[in-house]
Amino acid sequence: MTEILITGLTAGVQNRAAHEQMKPEALYYATDITTDVFGSVVCRNHHEVNSYFNTQVFTDPVKDIYQVDVEGTNKRLLYYRVANVLYCFNSYTGATRTVNSAMTGSHVSYAAFKPAASTYTYIYITDGITMLADNGSASITWGISAPEGVPFIRYTTGGNLTAGSYRYRYSFYDATTGSESNASIACAALTATANQATEISNIQASINSRVTSRRIYRTLVNGGSYYLVATIPDNVLTEFTDTQADSALATLLTEDQGVPPTGKIVRTYKNYLMLAGLSNYPNRVHFCIANLPDNFPETYYIEAGSSDDVVLNMIEWGGRMYFIQTASISGLDGTNADTFDVAGTRSDTGTAASQSPAAASDGIYFLGFDGVYRFDGAKSVKISEAIERAFGRTPSGLYEIVEYPQVESSTRAVVYQG
């Protein structure tokens, strides 16, 4: 047998067949594969390129592509990143805009979600450093920070207060989405006489442009819980007069509404947003209040195994959310925030590449540390074979090959030398 030695491979090694050069009957492919992120745009001969990118010229690779159909006639949003700049193309307006110019994380994750009070869908976006929400036309902060200022109070005539002490707090509110911040620190308690009113001042305006109003809360006479008094329908006025009697107050303040923690991975599951990839808690998965994607209470999280079994991806398949980890796969049990829990599976392998997992009709496919696996909801089965079998003998050398961007850092491939 004649051996051919090929040298000077300065552009790297491709150890996979070029499928565009193979006959159709020789190809195997999966159907009904769904992925949230399509990866980088790589142009090869005979490959169909998204029509939008046919008209674009970039000097850097196009990465982290995500497209979704939203409310409106033929309205599709297409997000992608070039270098550190995140762009959005809106098919309805035909315009491309810069969403953010400082997306410096290794990967951008997206999730589409329609907040409780909103008439349209927002895309929630994170790269593990910068987090934001976007509706295809403008971006806003993901979450609303609590007011820093403490309200001041004094009593005057002309009200319906019962004699006794009261305390006040206020919050920022976004009527467009129904999202509310945590409330401010309470003012000091002050004693009123019967039928007085309260003049409240130092109600600060928010520097966050998405805030549309402020909500005023107070205790009942000599009480400890806070009830909604009124909503100031702007982000301008700094004073308000409360004349209401205790009997008119019914809506309790939600104490821990929270903001989202900084995570690398976001997914939609039923009427919740889920966040994973936290640097300090790598096996935690946080979730929002139902239908309120800006509100993540501090206690709304679950833990998948031990901290050394890092959650690298989240994939919904068969009506259930699965957490793809470094050494295992866990499933989500429960239907709401009160019942969510993590259950282990019989999968004794995890993924070596955080962006490789993808859901298909017959399971979740992912790259393990020694090959490609298919997870069927209970266990993972290896479906690939070692490349040396194709050559009939063990290769004489191993080489590190980085197939960017399929892997997060590097992967080992076996290639034949000689």
Q: Tell me, yes or no, whether 305 lies in a domain.
A: no
**Share above pLDDT 90 across residues of the chain, in percent, rounded to a whole number:** 77
Q: Tell me, yes or no, whether 98 lies in a domain.
A: yes
Q: Provide the number of structural domains found in the chain.
A: 2
What is residue 6's predicted lDDT score, i.e. its pLDDT? Answer: 58
Domain edge (last residue) among 248, 281, 304: 248
The tokens for 407 are: 């892997």
Q: Tell me, yes or no, whether 340 lies in a domain.
A: no
CA distance 277 to 265: 6
| pLDDT tens readout for residues 329-340 | 999 999 999 999
Is residue 131 located within the same domain as residue 175?
Answer: no
| pLDDT tens readout for residues 12-58 | 554 444 444 444 444 444 444 444 444 444 444 444 446 788 778 88
At residue 206 the predicted structure's pLDDT band, cuts being 50, 70 and 90, is: very high
| pLDDT tens readout for residues 112-127 | 999 999 999 999 999 9
At residue 210 the predicted structure's pLDDT band, cuts being 50, 70 and 90, is: very high
At residue 263 the predicted structure's pLDDT band, cuts being 50, 70 and 90, is: very high
What is residue 303's predicted lDDT score, i.e. its pLDDT? Answer: 98
At residue 402 the predicted structure's pLDDT band, cuts being 50, 70 and 90, is: very low
Least trusted range by pLDDT, from 155-164, 359-368, 379-388, 394-403: 394-403
The tokens for 30 are: 């999966």
Is residue 135 located within the same domain as residue 71?
Answer: yes
Least trusted range by pLDDT, from 3-12, 149-158, 408-417: 408-417
Domain edge (last residue) among 248, 266, 298: 248
| pLDDT tens readout for residues 130-165 | 999 999 999 999 999 999 999 999 999 999 999 999
What is residue 71's predicted lDDT score, i.e. its pLDDT? Answer: 92
CA distance 74 to 91: 7
Is residue 238 located within the same domain as residue 180?
Answer: yes
Q: Examine the pLDDT at 399 and tell me if it is beyond 60.
A: no
Phi, psi angles (nearest 5°) of residue 126:
-150, 145
Domain edge (last residue) among 248, 269, 292: 248
Buried b (16+ CB within 10 A) or exposed e, 187-222: beeeebeeebbbebeebbbbeeebbbbbbbbbbbee
- Could you write out the DSSP letters of every residue in 290-318? TTBTT---TT-EEE-S-TTS-EEEEEEET
The tokens for 412 are: 């080992």
What is residue 348's predicted lDDT score, i.e. its pLDDT? Answer: 92
What is residue 145's predicted lDDT score, i.e. its pLDDT? Answer: 97
Q: What is the CATH number of the domain that holds 235?
A: 2.60.40
Is residue 45 located within the same domain as residue 79?
Answer: yes
What is residue 7's predicted lDDT score, i.e. its pLDDT? Answer: 61
| pLDDT tens readout for residues 59-68 | 899 999 999 9
Q: Tell me, yes or no, whether 64 lies in a domain.
A: yes
Phi, psi angles (nearest 5°) of residue 27:
-95, 145
Is residue 111 located within the same domain as residue 189?
Answer: no
Q: Examine the pLDDT at 384 and tell me if it is beyond 50.
A: yes
Name residues whose C-beta falls within 8 Å of residue 15's C-beta, 6 or more positions apart in sequence.
387, 401, 413, 415
* Averaged pLDDT of the chain: 86
Rg (CA), the chain: 27
Residue 15 identity (one-letter amino acid): N
Q: Tell me, yes or no, whether 72 lies in a domain.
A: yes
- Domain limits for position 241: 152-248
Going by their DSSP bridges, the two strands 213-219 and 226-232 should be labelled as: antiparallel
What is residue 56's predicted lDDT score, i.e. its pLDDT? Answer: 83
Is residue 43 located within the same domain as residue 138?
Answer: yes
> Which range has the top average pLDDT, 7-16, 58-67, 215-224?
215-224
* Coil vs helix vs strand at 227: strand
What is residue 261's predicted lDDT score, i.e. its pLDDT? Answer: 98
The total of other beta-carbon atoms located within 10 Å of residue 380's CB is: 24
Q: Examine the pLDDT at 349 and tell me if it is beyond 90.
A: yes
Is residue 118 located within the same domain as residue 182?
Answer: no
What is residue 409's predicted lDDT score, i.e. its pLDDT? Answer: 40
Q: Tell me, yes or no, whether 46 lies in a domain.
A: yes
Is residue 70 located within the same domain as residue 46?
Answer: yes
Q: Tell me, yes or no, whether 26 lies in a domain.
A: no
Burial of 160 (0-12, 13-18, 19+ CB in 10 A): middle
Q: Examine the pLDDT at 277 and tell me if it is beyond 50.
A: yes
Residue 151 identity (one-letter amino acid): P
Q: Tell me, yes or no, whether 174 lies in a domain.
A: yes
Residue 295 identity (one-letter amino acid): N
What is residue 106's predicted lDDT score, i.e. its pLDDT? Answer: 94
Task: Order across the sheet with 213-219: list the strands.
Answer: 179-180, 168-174, 213-219, 226-232
Is residue 164 located within the same domain as residue 136?
Answer: no
Is residue 112 located within the same domain as residue 157?
Answer: no
What is residue 58's predicted lDDT score, i.e. its pLDDT? Answer: 87
Is residue 129 located within the same domain as residue 166?
Answer: no
Is residue 190 located within the same domain as residue 235?
Answer: yes
Least trusted range by pLDDT, from 67-71, 191-195, 396-400: 396-400
Selection from 274, 333, 331, 284 nearest residue 307 by Cα: 284
The total of other beta-carbon atoms located within 10 Å of residue 14's CB is: 11
